[in-house]
Chain A
Amino acid sequence: MNTRSAPDSLRRRPRAATAPVALRAALVGCALLAGALANIGAAAAEIKLLPPEEAFRYAARAVDARTLEARFTIADGYYLYRDKLRFGVEPAAVTAAAPALPPGKLKDDEFFGRVETYREQVVVRIPVENAAPGQTVTLRADSQGCADAGVCYPPMSQRIELVVPAAGSAAGPLIEAVPAKKRWFR
């Protein structure tokens, strides 16, 4: 550093100190970043996973006073177990019959034997009784699934409130349990 000219330049441009501070901050930031990047090999070994409610998107609609429809949209690389899929309807006065689950893809499991799994999408129609047009009912879906990357999520229970459509009118709108978010970074 040129010590002789320093006081001179400080007097003329009192805000010149901003640049060295900013520069120092930039250097610290770059150092942290460089340190972090040096570890990127280790970090890359970690699997990037979706939260369960995004890996298994639950949506539902009331088709008519006697039929509710549940839909799971399953992200690529994830699957749901057919035998873990269960539905319930509230209030208790509205009764739901056991739905016919579509057949899944067979998978051999050493411990549980042959299990069926769903990928991409599964749509289930749940027959209900004693639901009045205009009434709000809750369709609960219990599910459990895994990722091909080698992890499994714990059983999950999600609820969607639906308004039963009037007789003769169109089916209700499809409602998502967790509305899709715009994501800028993955």
Chain B
Amino acid sequence: MSAASPSRRWLLVAAAVVALLLGAWVARSLLQGGANRDASTLLAVSLPDAEGVQQSLGQWRGKLLVVNFWATWCAPCREEMPMFVAAQKAHGAKGLQFVGVAVDEVPKVRQFAAEIGLNYPSLIGGFGALELSKALGNSLMALPFTIVVGRDGQVMHTQLGPLRKEQLEQMIEAGL
């Protein structure tokens, strides 16, 4: 018993260290990709719209804000945008605001906006917007990437890849 005790203690210490590191790592990775973060970095961003007028994301503070990074060269981005147009139409008056950030050029953005009847602003970020999205949690800098900011200025959700309709509806219900 007395001979086994030190080795058992070390085993316990080793197990504790492993559990602590694993727990901390998983918790950290979930927190990074997840919610309940202050969105002030995002709300401080200012980018030109398709007309060249500088627009600050902070102007929509207090709304349920959905910031969607997209590009015309990204088919999954284009596919989810008509759903955003419909949601903006249905809930815009109640305080829902979509804002696109296009990793793209103005003529292409204008052409696509006309094609789908875009009813919310799409700012022009160019490839610099990918770096911005990386700083906001899009480590792969892939598209579409969407950040949902609650009325309280806290990040409710970040997502790489298209939003599902039920997901969007749930967030609208919870956030409005």
A contacts, CB < 8 Å to B: 15, 18-19, 22-23, 25-26, 28-33, 35-37, 39, 42-43, 46-47, 49, 51-52, 84, 109-111, 144, 146-147, 149-155
Residues of chain A within 8 A of B12, CB atoms compared: 19, 22-23, 26
CA–CA, A122 and B86, complex, Å: 40
> Quick check: A32 and B143 within 8 Å, CB to CB?
no
Q: Does B62 contact A (CB under 8 A)?
A: no
Residues of chain B within 8 A of A36, CB atoms compared: 23, 26-27, 30
Q: Does B171 contact A (CB under 8 A)?
A: no
Number of A-B contacts (CB under 8 A): 116
Report 12 cross-chain contacts, Cβ distance below 8 Å, ordered by A residue.
A18-B13, A22-B15, A28-B23, A29-B16, A29-B18, A32-B24, A32-B26, A36-B23, A39-B34, A46-B159, A111-B78, A151-B74
> Quick check: A151 and B13 within 8 Å, CB to CB?
no
> Quick check: B23 and A31 within 8 Å, CB to CB?
yes
> Quick check: A29 and B73 within 8 Å, CB to CB?
no
Interface of B is mostly: helix
CA–CA, A84 and B75, complex, Å: 14
CA–CA, A109 and B73, complex, Å: 10
> Given that A28-B20, A30-B23, A36-B23 are known contacts, is A153 also in contact with B142, CB under 8 Å in the complex?
yes
Closest CB in chain B relative to A56 CB, distance in Å = 12
Closest CB in chain A relative to B33 CB, distance in Å = 6
CA–CA, A34 and B164, complex, Å: 27
> Quick check: A39 and B23 within 8 Å, CB to CB?
no
> Quick check: A154 and B144 within 8 Å, CB to CB?
no
Q: Does B9 contact A (CB under 8 A)?
A: yes
B contacts, CB < 8 Å to A: 9, 12-13, 15-24, 26-27, 30, 33-34, 71-79, 103, 112, 115, 127, 130, 140-144, 159-162
CA–CA, A36 and B22, complex, Å: 10
> Quick check: A146 and B76 within 8 Å, CB to CB?
yes
CA–CA, A154 and B132, complex, Å: 14
Q: Looking at the complex, which one of B20, B23, B33, B76 makes contact with A151 (CB distance below 8 Å)?
A: B76
Closest 6 pairs between A and B when the two form their complex, measured CB to CB: A32-B23, A29-B19, A29-B20, A36-B26, A26-B16, A152-B74
> Quick check: B9 and A150 within 8 Å, CB to CB?
no
Residues of chain A within 8 A of B74, CB atoms compared: 146, 151-152
> Given that A29-B20, A49-B140 are known contacts, is A152 also in contact with B76, CB under 8 Å in the complex?
yes
Closest CB in chain B relative to A13 CB, distance in Å = 9
> Quick check: B9 and A22 within 8 Å, CB to CB?
yes
CA–CA, A31 and B20, complex, Å: 9
Residues of chain A within 8 A of B17, CB atoms compared: 25
CA–CA, A28 and B142, complex, Å: 35
